[in-house]
Homo-oligomer: A and B are copies of this chain.
Amino acid sequence: MADCFITRVSAIDKRYSLPPGAGSDAVHSNPEYSLAVTRLETGGPLAGTGITLTLGRGNRLVCDAIEILARPLIGREIEALMAEFGRVLRQLADDPAMRWLGPHKGVVHLALASITNACFDLWAKSRGVPLWKLLLDLSPDELVALLDLSYVEDVLTPEQAREIFAERWAGRTERESILKQGYPGYDTSVGWMAYEDQKVCELTKAALAKGFTAFKLKVGSPDHGRDLRRAQLLRECAGDRATLMFDANQQWNLFAATEMGRELAALRPLWIEEPTHPDDVLGHVKLTRELAPVKLAAGEHMPNRVVFKNFIEAGAIHFVQADAVRLAGISEFLTVSLLATRFGLPLVPHVGDMGQLHQHLVLFNRVALGQEIHFLEHIPHLRQHFLFPVEVEGGVYRTPQEPGASTDLVDLRPSA
């Protein structure tokens, strides 16, 4: 490989309108899916593209934060940078002036997600391999060097992280079968909040016919009866053997979550998602007790590894829905994967990236960490905008083969 230097950093504010009703949930009535894109140019044909998601107005704030935070990357050679990325990430996150705006949360952390993901994309392209292969080819020491484990050392030291990677090396060959099989998907787009009953049923039947076996429904309506009716409808349309998940998008307080969780339990959901405010660790612990044996999932609004450490250690959630475009990118996602693995919890990502990045990351989590195979959320609404959109066939993600992290956009095609 020739040396590959970052010569220019830019941020691009991309906004995409959705079909009517698509993306709607209990708290986001009419979202405009927006990507705050980091572009790392190299003076040559290679460019790194990183993304994070926002929902419209405000995407510009993340772009402005990217332009401030990414400056120290200019002039860095990509291999040298990634050999110490954990240390660099901590420095970027702890910029003495910008740290106050978080720390490690909100606009500045979303910006770091986009920046970090651009670095990994450029790194994988520079090695000519897809992200999943880049990660699987790294040694435990190289993997640990990608991570900032500060503030989680009480449950995960660098040495313990190295041991987890090393211990699980043995069963890799067998687990690599997932690369050929492809990773199962589940369909979130059948049950948006604004969809009429008939549409939910039609979409569910169409998704079943395509091979999906698991479906998510948005709940958290002010009309509890509507939620229950739609949940019943989904069970009827999807059939007894289908896997269902109900997602309240933080709308409920603890009283409503308890009441609705008990009602919805009759429909045997695999999980209830974001039942209440994402900062409420103790609230989730209370809910796990009140609602047992119903299981809880959350994570799409948990900003960093410290928050995940708390939820995981407290037993506040059963499914860890880390998102590499909410956390500080692929690096902090891997840290949360290690935390989940250490505590024996399944990591089932939320896909703010529409699955583009996470299709790589679930493969890594399966092969390298031995995580059980669950399924990866599938949301098709932005696929025409990606240069290499995810390919889901028979309800299964096909393993991507193009170099990079699959985050390039059609209208930001590499100039060369």
Contact = CB atoms under 8 A, between A and B. Distances in A.
A392 to B, nearest CB: 25
Interface in A110-161: 110, 150-151, 153-154
By Cβ-Cβ distance, the 3 closest A-B pairs, closest first, are A106-B106, A56-B97, A107-B107
Contact of A96 (B28, B276, B277, B313): B28
Main secondary structure of the interface of A (DSSP, over half): loop
B55 A151 contact: no
Contact of A100 (B58, B150, B255, B306): B58
Q: How many copies does the complex hold?
A: 2
A12 interface: no
A107 B106 contact: yes
Contacts of A301: 103
Contact of A306 (B55, B280, B313): B280
A209 interface: no
A49 B283 CA distance: 36
Interface string A268-293: 00000000111111110010000000
A30 B97 CA distance: 8
A57 B97 CA distance: 6
A101 B106 contact: yes
A64 interface: yes
Contacts of A199: none
Contacts of A276: 151
Nearest to A103: B301
Contact of A109 (B27, B106, B150, B154): B106
A98 B57 contact: yes
Contacts of A255: 153-154
Contact of A108 (B56, B58, B60, B97): B58
Contacts of A60: 64
A351 B208 CA distance: 57
Contacts of A153: 253-255
B281 A310 contact: yes
Contacts of A282: 281, 309-310, 313-314
A338 to B, nearest CB: 16
A261 to B, nearest CB: 14
Contacts of A108: 58, 61, 106-107
Among A53, A102, A279, residue most surrounded by chain B Cβ atoms (within 10 Å): A279
A167 to B, nearest CB: 24
Contacts of A304: 279
22 contacts: A28-B97, A28-B100, A29-B96, A31-B96, A55-B100, A58-B108, A61-B61, A61-B101, A102-B105, A103-B250, A103-B277, A151-B253, A153-B253, A153-B255, A154-B254, A154-B283, A279-B306, A280-B310, A281-B282, A281-B310, A282-B310, A282-B313
